[in-house]
Structure formats: C-alpha cells, structure tokens
Amino acid sequence: MTQMNYTGKSRVAIIANGKYQSKRIASKIFSALKHDPNFYLSKDNPDIVISIGGDGMLLSVFHMYEKALDKVRFVGIHTGHLGFYTDYRDFEVDEFLKNLRLDRGEKISYPLLRVTVTTADGRIVTARALNEASLRRIEKTMVADVAINGTQLERFRGDGITVSTPTGSTAYNKSIGGAVLHPTVEAFQMTEIASLNNRVYRTLGSSIIIPKGETVTIEPKRVGSYTVSIDNKSFSYRNVAKMEFFLDDKKISFLSTPSHIGFWERVKDAFIGEVDE
Ligand code: NAD
C-alpha cells in the first residue's frame, strides 16, 4: 500500500450501470457528498472514480479513465454478489461513505497488460487490458507461431490464445484452465484455448507465467478473419500479422480503505464458499 500526495479536496466521479439498484446507490452517494466541503463531484478529471455495478462495470469504467491512471484511484460497489474488483456491496454504502471521509490518499496498485496488434497492411493498434487480451480465429483452426522474448516456443493450432493480468487470472483465464495468480505478482499469464495436441501437433499445453520485461508474440500463419478481445470488448481484424503482449508501465490503483478485501478471501468467496466441517 502506498500513499499519494494528499492535498485535501477530492474530485469524485460516480459512474453507475443502468440497473435500478445501481442508480439508486449512485444518487444516495451523490446526495451524501454534494454538500461535503472535502469533495467536488465531477466526471471530468477525477481523483477518485466510484464504479457502481459489477466487475464488468469496473472494466468499462477503467477503460473510460485509462488515460488518467497516474492520478485516478478506483473503488467498486457491487449491486450483486461480491466481485473481484469491488470492495463494497450495495447494503454497505454507509460504511463506504465513512471510509471515504477517512481517506488520506492510500492506494493499492495492480499490474496491467499492454497489447499491440499489427495488421498485414502495417497498421499498428495498441491497447491496455485490465483482465485479459485474446487472439482467436472463429471459423477455422488458428495456426500461429508463439515466441517468448524472441525465442520461438511452439507452433500453436487451436481456437486461440489468451493472455491475462494477475487480477484477470480469476476471470476467463481460470475458466480455460489457467492458474490463479496473486495480483501483486509482477507477471502475466498465457493460456491456450482448446489447442490441438496429438502425434502430429504439439504445444506446451500448460499455461505459462511470464515476468515483467518479457514479451509474448503471436504470429498467425493463415490469412483470414481474427477476433481480438480486450476485456469486455471484441474487435474483428482481417489478416493479423502479429500480436504482442507485455506488462504495462502503468498500474491500476484502488482506494485502500479498511474494506479493501484480501485476494484469497475473494477467491474463497467466489469459487469455494463456506466449507462444511
Ligand atoms: P460479464 O461482465 O458478464 O462478466 C462475466 C463474469 O466474469 C462475471 O461473473 C464477472 O463477475 C466475472 N469476472 C470479471 N472479471 C473478473 C475477474 N477479474 N475475476 C473473477 N471474475 C471476474 O462479462 P463480459 O462483460 O462479457 O466480460 C467481462 C469479463 O468476463 C472478461 O474480461 C472475461 O474475463 C470474463 N468472461 C469470462 C468468461 C468465461 O469464464 N467463460 C466468458 C466471457 C467473459
């Protein structure tokens, strides 16, 4: 946990998804803060962004403010079950407001992924991911060379490849058999999506953890249509020449209040629940 240069009045953005319950919570927080002299409510240039909804909403809010990562701290309020990026449930708004008023600029930060897509005609598109970025070929088998830091590792054949951040390791990555990575580990993970493995075709099979500073490069070998997914958005490209993945030099920061829940507690809550003795 680190402390920011705290100078008093905070600019706060409140962003809610379209659900009735989320809008209701947004208006409760708005009413509580609008006459508080320590806060200025504005969606422009905020110091603190309050996301109201679920993990999907936090992903959208992250992309809304990703150009201001040096300044912004995020905090999530979930209107359903406890999420991975949300510290408060909808019935804990009073506790959230109490902690917000005690805030002295502490933050907790987690690594992000940087991605570049180079198309066959030389166009380069860059993006940042909070959960993961994937390259998939839908209509036919994806055939692609995979290299790590310039070492040609394997020729992949299958549906595609996902590369996830540590916080994204519990999302799509986990569903396709990837490992769960503690979010303070400065690394990212590459996981195969339905690879072909038989006497003719061979890939490593297991997911791979790659340290900060190294780059994964995927070079598709067939012309055709490819789907690039970045968190909750997907884009179609004709003829991807290569896609590169590495840890970003920026991180996402969350408000570090007493309610910032420990990672293993979230894992237990989401995937295990209470164990019968
Ligand atoms: P969504 O917003 O409906 O989210 C799908 C589920 O993923 C929700 O239950 C959400 O709480 C959970 N989730 C999101 N981020 C998580 C994280 N870091 N750790 C654990 N759970 C997490 O779906 P969407 O808007 O289409 O995509 C958002 C994210 O959902 C994607 O980034 C992807 O990781 C995940 N997703 C997972 C699957 C899968 O597991 N098969 C399929 C699609 C999307």
Pair 62, 138 in one domain: no
Has residue 152 been placed in a domain?
yes
Do residues 91 and 233 make contact, with C-beta atoms less than 8 angstroms apart? Answer: no
pLDDT bucket at 260, cuts 50 / 70 / 90: confident
Q: What is the pLDDT of residue 261?
A: 78
Pair 120, 235 in one domain: yes
* 77 DSSP β-pair partners: 52, 88
Pair 92, 216 in one domain: no
Tokens describing residue 166: 């540590």
Q: What is the pLDDT of residues 172-214, one digit of tens each?
A: 999 999 999 999 999 999 999 999 999 989 999 999 999 999 9
Which residues, 6+ apart, have CB-to-CB distance to 222 below 8 Å?
137, 140, 142, 143
Site to probe by mutation for ligand 1, drawn from 19, 74, 131, 132 as the one with most ligand atoms within 8 Å of Cβ, is 131
* Closest ligand 1 atom number to CA of residue 168: 18
Q: How far is it, in rounded angstroms, from Cα 233 to Cα 56?
A: 11
Has residue 1 been placed in a domain?
no
Pair 238, 117 in one domain: yes
Distance 174 CA to ligand 1 centre (A): 10
Q: What is the pLDDT of residue 146?
A: 98
Q: What is the pLDDT of residues 25-81, one digit of tens each?
A: 999 999 999 999 999 999 999 999 999 999 999 999 999 999 999 999 999 999 987
Arithmetic mean of pLDDT, 233-241: 96
- Chain mean pLDDT for the chain: 94
Q: Domain span at residue 242? A: 112-249
Distance 32 CA to ligand 1 centre (A): 31
Residue 5, pLDDT > 90, answer no
Q: What is the pLDDT of residue 80?
A: 80
Q: How far is it, in rounded angstroms, from Cα 75 to Cα 97?
A: 12
Kindly state if the Cβ of 22 falls inside 6 Å of ligand 1: no
Length of the chain measured in residues:
277
Pair 149, 221 in one domain: yes
Arithmetic mean of pLDDT, 163-177: 98
Kindly state if the Cβ of 130 falls inside 6 Å of ligand 1: no
Distance 172 CA to ligand 1 centre (A): 6
Which range among 65-79, 150-164, 252-266 shows the weakest confidence by mean pLDDT?
A: 252-266
Q: Is residue 258 classed as helix, strand or coil in its secondary structure? A: coil
Q: What is the pLDDT of residue 274?
A: 78
Residues comprising the binding site for NAD(+)? 55-56, 131-132, 157, 159, 170-175, 194
Q: How far is it, in rounded angstroms, from Cα 203 to Cα 148?
A: 14
Identify the CATH number of the domain in which residue 57 sits: 3.40.50.10330
Residues designated catalytic = 55
Do residues 263 and 166 make contact, with C-beta atoms less than 8 angstroms apart? Answer: no
Pair 119, 239 in one domain: yes
Pair 212, 228 in one domain: yes
Has residue 181 been placed in a domain?
yes
Share of the chain above pLDDT 90, in %: 87
Give the residue, by CA position, lying nearest to ligand 1 atom 7.
Answer: 171
Pair 119, 84 in one domain: no
Q: Is residue 172 classed as helix, strand or coil in its secondary structure? A: helix
Kindly state if the Cβ of 60 falls inside 6 Å of ligand 1: no
Residue 230, pLDDT > 70, answer yes
Identify the CATH number of the domain in which residue 142 sits: 2.60.200.30
Which residues, 6+ apart, have CB-to-CB distance to 9 below 8 Å?
37, 38, 39, 40
Give the chain's radius of gyration (CA, Å).
20
Q: What is the pLDDT of residue 269?
A: 87
Pair 169, 42 in one domain: no
Has residue 3 been placed in a domain?
no
Q: What is the pLDDT of residue 4?
A: 47
More confident residue, 38 or 274: 38
Handedness of CA 51, 52, 54, 60 (dihedral sign): negative
Q: How far is CA 13 from CA 52, 121, 137, 139, in A?
A: 11, 40, 38, 42
Pair 265, 206 in one domain: no
Give the residue, by CA position, lying nearest to ligand 1 atom 37.
Answer: 172
Looking at the 3D structure of the chain, how many domains does it have?
2
Pair 120, 91 in one domain: no
Amino acid, res. 155: R
Has residue 277 been placed in a domain?
no
Pair 148, 223 in one domain: yes
